[in-house]
Amino acid sequence: MWKTVAACALGLGMTAVCAKTLVVSYSFTGNADRIAAALVKEIKADQIKIEPAQKGIDYAANNYSIGSDLVGEIRQKPDSEASYPKIDPVKVDWSQYSTVIIATPLWWSNMAASMQTFLFENGKDMSGKKIGLIVTSASSGISGVERDAKRLIPGGDFYSPSLWIRSSQSSSAGSMIADWLKRIHYDEAAK
């Protein structure tokens, strides 16, 4: 309780601005959600999960072609709202958060499409906030996902390095996350 109060400050309009953390995850087969669950065991944070508006799609069908088409459209026209698949509406009071940690899968070397939609809609509101990125992939390196995050949150103050957890490492996610939080000097006040 004391920590929460101590982490809040009175802003210009005398409204309390709190140094809280928001964990945002999107997951198709469960790995990123398991990572987010392990993360919120380590830190004090609010949590939201992004859900595609269209339900029941198998993004892995036909050799991952549906997922591939979705990220392909974004790659072609990243500035057009029409390129991003619809997600269920999410309303975030950004004034409450100083830190956002994103847990997302990699799709064809990019950030999974629905998480890109969330950041396309909200990234500008995340300017000046500390941003942590945790990416799960089968084997591909995560630099393309980091590029997507930086494009979609142009004013973000990114923790470095990001954390890469391969699907095969999902059972060690808890200890990898604990090590990562130490490595990035995650703000103790927000814990």
47 and 69 Cβ atoms separated by less than 8 Å:
no
Report in angstroms how near the CB of residue 188 gets to ligand FMN at its nearest: 29
| First-last CA distance in the chain | 11
Binding mask 71-100 for ligand FMN (x = CB under 6 A): ------------------------------
**Looking at 8-16, 39-47, 84-92, 133-141, which segment touches ligand FMN (CB under 6 A)?**
133-141
Q: Which is nearer to ligand FMN, 27 or 117 (CB)?
A: 27
Residue 64 is a binding residue for ligand FMN (CB under 6 A): yes
Residue 161: cis peptide before it, omega within 30 degrees of 0: yes
Q: Which is nearer to ligand FMN, 96 or 169 (CB)?
A: 169
Owner of token pair 């609010």:
46
CA 79 to CA 94: how far, in whole Å? 22
Residues 123, 125, 127, CA angle at the centre, nearest 5°? Answer: 80
CA 66 to CA 100: how far, in whole Å? 29
113 and 70 Cβ atoms separated by less than 8 Å:
yes
Residue 60 is a binding residue for ligand FMN (CB under 6 A): yes
**Looking at 24-32, 88-96, 145-153, 181-189, which segment touches ligand FMN (CB under 6 A)?**
24-32
Residue 59 is a binding residue for ligand FMN (CB under 6 A): yes
Residue 138 is a binding residue for ligand FMN (CB under 6 A): yes
CA 131 to CA 126: how far, in whole Å? 8
- Looking at the chain, how many residues does it have? 191
Residue 144 is a binding residue for ligand FMN (CB under 6 A): no
112 and 104 Cβ atoms separated by less than 8 Å:
yes
Residue 114 is a binding residue for ligand FMN (CB under 6 A): no
Report in angstroms how near the CB of residue 156 gets to ligand FMN at its nearest: 22
> Which residues contact ligand FMN (rule: CB under 6 A)?
27-32, 59-60, 64, 67, 105-109, 136-140, 167
